[in-house]
Amino acid sequence: MRILYLWVDKYRDFINQEFNLSSEYTFKYDKEKKHLTKSRNDYYIKDFFSLNTDKDTNIEELSVIVGNNGVGKTTLLDLILDISNLSYKRKDTFNYILVYKYNGKIEYMC
């Protein structure tokens, strides 16, 4: 499973915050219209991380979370854990949209 996009209404210091974690697609959520759009990145290079023509290379994409202290890197990871229900917190205390790719298919969770 690969997370492509995450939007959250309110979670700790995040208010109406979205995170695009895909280089192939860009997502945008309009909260007022309750509409999520997906657009393809025209500059996306398929198999960019393949080291050779051998398809045994498992790296499909690389996403990193960087920033100064206090900007929300840990909060973002906590949010992902809460959504995946791996932590003690209840995920129904905040509104979110999670877009992920699983077995080649794009799926949504909210």
Sign of the torsion angle spanned by Cα atoms 80, 61, 23, 109: negative
Mean pLDDT of 10-32: 96
What percent of the chain is modeled with pLDDT above 70?
87
Between strands 96-102 and 25-30, the pairing is unpaired
Report how many helices (DSSP H) and strands (DSSP E) the chain contains, helices first: 1, 6
| Cα dihedral 61→20→81→78 (10° resolution) | 120
What is the percentage of the chain residues whose pLDDT exceeds 90?
63
Q: Which amino acid is at 107?
A: E
Q: Is pLDDT at 13 greater than 90 in this prediction?
A: yes
Q: To the nearest whole number, what is the mean pLDDT of the chain?
A: 88
Cα–Cα nearest to 7, from 30, 41, 40: 30
